[in-house]
Chains A and B, each alone.
Chain A
């Protein structure tokens, strides 16, 4: 079947100035400008965001859910990366 909708764009919004951009959802659009407008109309109808990004969905590279566990495995087994691993003696402050 024909694609009459144009490509998919992923939409990222920023809640307030300086905050990280967060994924909101996606839209169809035929060009960058239309993507921005569609994203605004769909994801920014209330709570006016401070920023908006659209990215062609085809450009996003992702880890597939099935691979996630082994892919991220090494990040969890190093308890000494966390401050709670170290005992701060009573009486010592601002550490």
Chain B
């Protein structure tokens, strides 16, 4: 069979909603597309531990601290599920981490914003995990088997993340006037970065076409963003908080919320390394990785001696 025939068969298989497994034949582009998407997803989970990690020692109660620790531990786990799924495609963990450190692999721009007050932890769970899970629910149907199975596990675990965030928001929004103000401030700062998590508009996104054709992506950036907005706005109303978008209004005709435009200049700046915390996030990851080198070396030396 020549390449065109194989490719045709591959596409038919995908169109029939069959899943691709690591040992199956796949076009090189399919492999690299998945490696890029899955590894960047993994990096996002891991880097995402940093903004929340800042508040472990400052959590207001022991209860809140235990929940936050469990949540962050889950995010680390999500990173590991995803690194493992990407490894089935022939890239090593070391290569992926090197790509992150060299800036060749990206992670979600949202994690380059600082967590300034306790309500930010609420806003992250509610909005950032809420946006992530909107995307991840759709990715359960992605065409690459190991990625799809990782998404199933992740979505099950995510179900408490958003709730714990909303619980914090609720306490703060319905608390003292100062607490309410902190909650509003957190929403003001996290709303737009959360919307940016879905990526550029469909007509600006060159990768969407192939990703959709191969069913790696199952819904477009704009579709997913709209889904998130539609379910989140009523939740904000319940909190008595105001979404920081003067153009936001319900559109009777479309059955969706209309919104103002995202600041794409800011998005591009942050994604290209110039957000408020990019340098800090990368420096921290590199430091911890270097500080842990002796553990990996010792384990390898011990294993070598056992042989």
Contacts and interface: CB of A to CB of B under 8 A. Distances in A.
B3 interface: no
Nearest to A91: B238
Interface string A56-95: 0000000000000000000000101111011111011111
Contacts of B232: 94
Nearest to B66: A80
B160 A82 contact: yes
Q: How large is the interface on B (under 10, 10 to 19, 20 to 34, 35 or more residues)?
A: 20 to 34
B70 A95 contact: no
B125 to A, nearest CB: 10
Interface in B138-180: 145, 148-149, 157, 159-160, 162-164, 166-167, 170
Interface residues of A, number: 20
B235 A89 contact: no
Given A78-B70, A94-B235, A17 B145 contact: yes
B149 A78 contact: no
B21 A51 contact: yes
A88 B234 contact: no
A92 B160 contact: no
Contacts of B235: 92-95
B15 interface: no
Given A17-B145, A18-B148, A88 B163 contact: yes
Nearest to B67: A80
Given A80-B63, A94-B235, 19 more contacts: A17-B17, A18-B18, A18-B145, A80-B67, A80-B160, A80-B164, A81-B157, A83-B159, A83-B160, A86-B163, A87-B167, A88-B163, A89-B170, A92-B238, A93-B231, A93-B235, A94-B231, A95-B163, A95-B166
